[in-house]
Amino acid sequence: MSEPAGVVSKSVASSQRGLWFRLGPLWSLVSLLAIVYFVTLIISFLGDSVQVQLQYALVSLIIVVALQMFIGTSGVLSFGHVAFVAVGAWTVGLLTIDPELKRNLLPDLFPFLFDLNAPWLVAVVIGGVVGGLLALVVSPVLMRLNGLQAGIATFALLGVVNQVLTYWSSVGPRSGQSMVGIPDVLNLQTTMLFAMAAIVAAWLFQRTRPSRLLRAAREDGIAAASSGINVVSQRIIVFAVSGIVAGVAGGLFALTNRVVQSSQLNIELTFVTLAMLVLGGMLSLSGAVVGTLVFSLVDVLLVRLQNGLEIGAYVVSVPQGARAIILGLILVGMLLFRPSGLTGGREFVWPFRKERPLPGMPPTNES
Amino acid sequence: MTGQLIQSLVDALSAGATLGLAALSIGLVFGVIRLANFAQAEIITASAYCLIFTWELGWFIAVPLSIIVAVAMSLLMEFAVFSRMRSANPATLLIASFGLSFLLQRVYELMFSNNVRTAPVASGLAQTVEFAGVRIQLLSVATIVIAGLVLLGLHLFLTRTSMGLQLKAAAADFRTARLVGIPAGRVIALSFALSGILAAAVAFVLTVQSGAVGPTFGVQITILALVGAVIGGIDKISGSLAGGFLVGFVTSMLATWLPQEMSNFKDAYVFVLVIGVLLFRPSGLLIKGRGVART
């Protein structure tokens, strides 16, 4: 029998194990924030081009956190989160481009959109709201499906949203063009704070009722349903919340990239972010963070190697194009030899005590 | 008007036939080991590259060679990757096949560059013929004929030979099939090989159509084929075929008959239809009842 993870065992265990046990989950949060902080700190000494890559990596981190909030919690595959990223990016683009410029560049917009303008921070928040609303609207349909069907249906959602954004010039550029003129306001530090905020939000969310109930349903759907959990409605809540996070990430993507076009917010981004999540381990927040950072750091290293990296008297280099192949090999190799990811689906725990799974994090190797 | 209708019907039939074959190649493997192999796209691409590079040697070399390449790649994937992942669930397998697909695309980029390679493959089929006042693309007719022949061959193989029957049994219920003594490894390899042959047929049709092959050549059709297979009922061989055909047929019809400003959104309509079908028939159009939920 698999126990409803965390729901029952928590009160008993925490009284027995005392302080360390209650601080355990907090430790996982602190260590994740510290990792993000120090990686950013170290990278910021390595020159401008790497800093730019890191900023993209931090935006991806938020997307991957959003993916983990849903996929990791529910065990249901979603190829659709990039749709929420896209509408978030669109929202921020429309709200932050200078009205005069907007009139010239995007002549087919709905008239009321011309004068709509907001400070970038407000725009990012609105982007999150729009992403969450889209997730909420489509979720009653999508959340009934499981497994491969859920994957295909969320993929269809991505297809619909992408095509609407590509061709509907009343809400964006004409097809084949992109939105330019997004202000340069976001620096590395602010992006890092957003990434940390996303991690805190996801960590807090893990402790809420919908997340716990859904993790129970992930482990054993039939047992959860017969304990009175309405799986579909819990999934709707979690999907909408992760949609908000994805929308915020989209807004930050727009401010980082400063050009928004639908072709960048499509299948490729979906695969890359999913690969990051798989690499780290889908079932834990630590997996999302570690996967994204490792993937991005390897990528940074490979870009350097492609340009020739000097170590002492030697120049080490890999051929052009080898970067993507190595990243692909890492992903496939990981799925072959360690399908539960680098973290094995566990959160970080205080290293100086006996191994014990955290509440709500059953020691699964493979779901 | 009638002429245009017939013409669009023929085009839609051929689009449906192509996508039906592609969906069938995915469904055949899924039925046996529950793998929705997205890397099928790269088998199609490899076979198409082979046609482009060897066409000048003559079709009697290029076509068999393209089939051999497709079958070899399909079997290689099974032995190198998927045979080591037997215990993974369908969602993990799907992601693994995405990873493999991504990897192979980059390998193609490195080997053949990002630019498309071109060759006049079977250019004789690219012309239109006038038949009783109706202009019809010869290729559309050829596609329907090729699809028909491949399906007939597959049908005969699956119903008349011992190996085929074993495969059918395994696709219907793999565990029971093993219990009655059907050799698992051989049947799985057989399903991959057949799916490679189907991929080669798809590659031939697409290469003649476009005459140009790039690293992501097979991706578009494989996405649609996967979608088609799932809405038709990927658990059943005929389900995948019918679903793929339906998606191809509807997309082609929409492209012809929707007014210009709406036809930009044709894929969006198809995807909305897909979500609708999945909502009411989650296990597929051809599967009766709600089917067994496999998560």
Structure tokens at A326: 């190595």
| Portion 224-283 of B in contact with A at CB < 8 A | 226-227, 230-231, 234, 264-265, 267-268, 271-272, 274-275, 278-279, 282-283
Any chain B CB within 8 A of the CB of A274?
yes
pLDDT (tens digit per residue) in A182-199: 888 898 999 999 999 999
The pTM of the full predicted model, rounded to 2 decimals, is 0.86
Contact flag A321-B89 (C-beta cutoff 8 Å): no
Structure tokens at B168: 């059918």
pLDDT (tens digit per residue) in B20-33: 999 999 999 988 88
Contact flag A335-B87 (C-beta cutoff 8 Å): no
Mutation for testing the A interface, residue in B93, B94, B98 having most A CBs under 10 Å: B98
For chain B, the domains span: 14-218
Question: Chain A: nearest CA to B127, how far in angstroms?
Answer: 31
pLDDT for the residue A14: 45
Any chain B CB within 8 A of the CB of A227?
no
Structure tokens at B246: 């339906």
pLDDT (tens digit per residue) in A143-193: 888 878 888 889 999 999 998 998 888 888 887 788 888 888 898 999 999
pLDDT for the residue A6: 46
CA distances from B78 to A209, B71, B186, B192 (A): 42, 11, 12, 7
Determine the Cα–Cα distance for residues A250 and A260; give it in Å rounded to an integer. 10
ipTM: 0.83
List of residues 6+ apart from A10 with CB closer than 8 A: A359, A360
CB A366 within 8 A of CB B87: yes
Q: Name the residue with tokens 């929707």.
A: B258
CB A224 within 8 A of CB A217: yes
Is residue A309 helix, strand or coil? strand
On chain A, the residues whose CB falls within 8 A of the CB of B293 are 146-147
Lowest-pLDDT choice from A243-247, A265-269, A319-323, B30-34: A319-323
Contact flag A144-B275 (C-beta cutoff 8 Å): no
User: What amino acid is encoded at B172 in this protein?
Assistant: A
pLDDT (tens digit per residue) in A256-274: 999 998 888 988 899 889 8
